[in-house]
Amino acid sequence: MSPEYIFLLHLVLGYVAWLLCFRVYVWPRLELMGPFDAQRAIATLHSFRFFGLVFILPGAVGPHLPVSFAVFAAYGDFATGVLATLALLTARTRPLFWLFVVAFNLVGATDLILDYYHAIQSDLPARAGELGATYAIPIIYVPALMITHVAAFYLLLRPQLKARSLHHPTKSHTQAAQKP
């Protein structure tokens, strides 16, 4: 099996495993929490993204890891981790907390999408061995990060979605209300 195929298989299976875990164990708990507590839990996970600096740590990765991937991934993760930590540190000042929640999710999701783009552009899947000790990050950690960004955006938008559905009832609700 080629390194590229193994890497892609690992990546897909990482998403499958995390989606199953998230659906059964994480999402039900997040839904029961209030918006503040749910976002604080997600921020706690993302506060560890400082770890992405390992992509530029000599010896942790192979000497031929594409710089176009490594540097952007390292600093994008670091920025996201700092913003998530700032969200946690400002939890008592709600407007600042919410500002940092939005910021770390926008920066973090953009970082991951651009990391995928840079990985494809630099043919990283075929050279996955260059990830060295960091191989587990895109396979195990990144799927959890991306899934929680999607959940965070959904939770941020959910109050607006509920309000919109109350102001624009569906046809069945309208018809039910018209019956004597």
Say which residue the tokens 């659906």 belong to. 23
Residue for token digits 């897909």? 12
Distance CA 101, CA 95 (A): 10
What is the pLDDT at residue 108?
A: 98
How many domains does one find in the chain? 1
Locus of tokens 């609700």 = 173
Tens digit of each residue's pLDDT (9 = 90 or more) over 166-177:
666 555 444 544
pLDDT tens profile 29-38:
999 999 999 9
**Total H helices, total E strands in the chain:** 8, 0
Rounded Cα distance, 124 and 131, in Å = 9
Give the DSSP per-residue string, 4-51: HHHHHHHHHHHHHHHHHHIIIIIHHHHHHS-HHHHHHHHHHHHGGGGG
Q: How high is the pLDDT of residue 180? A: 47
How high is the mean pLDDT in each 10-residue block of the chain (180 residues)?
Answer: 94 98 97 95 98 93 91 97 98 98 98 96 93 94 98 89 61 49
pTM, to two decimals: 0.86
pLDDT for position 167: 62
What is the C-alpha separation between 2 and 21, in angstroms, rounded?
28
Q: Tell me the residue range of the domain where 120 lies.
A: 3-178
Residues 6+ apart with CB under 8 A from 29: none
Task: Please tell me the predicted confidence (pLDDT) of residue 17.
Answer: 98
What do you get for the CA distance between the two ends of the chain, in Å?
68
Q: Which two tokens stand for residue 67?
A: 């710089």
pLDDT at 158 (0 to 100): 85
